[in-house]
Amino acid sequence: MHMPLIGAGTFRLQGQTAIDSVANALDLGYRHIDTAQIYGNEAEVGQALAASGVPRGEVFVTTKIWTEHLAADALIPSLKESLVKLRLEQLDLTLIHWPSPKAAVPVAESMAALLEARELGLTRAIGVSNFTIPLMQEAIDAVGAANIATNQVELHPYLQNRAVAAFARAHGIPLTAYMPLAYGKVLTDPVIGAIAARLDATPAQVTLAWLLAQGHTVIPSSTRRENLASNLAARALVLEVDDLAAIDGLDRGERLVSPDFGPHWD
């Protein structure tokens, strides 16, 4: 199956909160769940998936390889551990979560290991996350753009990441917008609020519709069933050109996720 354009994120969700969020998401109709080795909730995601009764072929599951597992001899064993926790035979998508700190492991080495994982049937697709333009170029040089299913990056009205988006588009690599609501920060924005009020929508729906209009996949997270439901309904919201342009105007390069081991951003 293709990656559904709206997925449910699970960063920060632990224990029963993670189980409940994924269970609610699947019950409401989400068919795309985003987790990661470092989130410490793959087992809870797996439990909720198993209990949901949703056939395996109907839900798209992504995990991300942590930086300590990027070397050729570590990546596949770590992915196998993720599969056990998730109670799955195969991931739909496996990403390099962050480029290797200080380039300790070459991009080409990790991409080759991911490709091997795909050939072994451990994952249906492979990709990257938090990759800058030079790092995307390295990944393309290693395995070819056609083998890179996505670059998952921080992307919301306050951080529009235009250079990365243009480069990815030029190479046919779709972007997945993480933290699409800027962890709630954009929801009190007056421009977004005014559009939402006029369209009888929520600020979250307007923000997600703006990202979807650019062809990006979005993976908002929520611990609340009503928010999960209304976020999914953003699929039906189509914004007019003027409203899209007004949100385009909100970019202020405000990056919320920038750990000290991260890359030099574009």
Residue number, 175 or 181, with CB nearest to ligand NAP: 181
Which residue in the set 144, 184, 215, 253 belongs to the binding site for ligand NAP (CB under 6 A)? 184
Identity at 129, one-letter amino acid code: S
Q: What is the largest CA-CA distance in the chain?
A: 55
Of residues 184 and 215, the one with the C-beta less far from ligand NAP: 184
The two structure tokens encoding residue 216: 């990006």
CA angle 77, 78, 84 (to 5 degrees): 90
The single residue among 82, 152, 160, 161 that binds ligand NAP, judged by CB under 6 A, is: 152
With CB atoms as reference, the residue minimizing the distance to ligand NAP is 9
CA distance 171 to 179: 23
223 makes contact with ligand NAP (CB under 6 A): yes
Q: How far is the CB of 219 from ligand NAP (least distance, A)?
A: 5
Identity of the residue, 121 or 259, whose beta carbon is nearer to ligand NAP in the bound complex: 259
Q: Which stretch binds ligand NAP (CB under 6 A): 141-149, 178-186, 191-199, 237-245?
A: 178-186
Taking residue 66's Cβ as centre, other Cβ atoms within 10 Å add up to 18
> 33, exposed or middle or buried, with CB in 10 Å at 0-12, 13-18, 19+?
buried
Q: Which is nearer to ligand NAP, 120 or 197 (CB)?
A: 197
Alpha-helical (H) ranges within the chain are 15-28, 42-52, 72-86, 107-119, 133-143, 162-170, 190-199, 203-213, 225-232, 241-248
**Residue among 91, 164, 181, 212 that touches ligand NAP (CB under 6 A):** 181
Rounded CA-CA distance 107/165 in Å is: 20
**Is the distance from CB of 30 to CB of 228 less than 8 angstroms?**
yes
Quick one: which of 111, 149, 204, 239 contacts ligand NAP (CB under 6 A)? 204
Applying CB under 6 A, the span of 50-58, 67-75, 222-230, 241-249 interacting with ligand NAP comes to: 222-230
Residue linked to tokens 């690599």 = 173
Q: Name residues whose C-beta falls within 8 Å of residue 251's C-beta, 6 or more positions apart in sequence.
A: 157, 158, 159, 160, 162
Q: Is residue 46 part of the contact set for ligand NAP (CB under 6 A)?
A: no
Q: Which is nearer to ligand NAP, 119 or 237 (CB)?
A: 237
Under rule CB under 6 A, residue 110 binds ligand NAP:
no
Report residue 46 as tokens: 């797996």
Q: Which residues from 126-145 bind ligand NAP, rule CB under 6 A?
A: 129-130
Under rule CB under 6 A, residue 244 binds ligand NAP:
no
Whether 178 is catalytic is: no
Q: Which residues are catalytic?
A: 39
Question: In the complex, which residues of this chain contact ligand NAP (CB under 6 A)?
Answer: 9-11, 34, 97, 129-130, 152, 178-184, 187, 202, 204, 219-224, 227, 230-231, 257
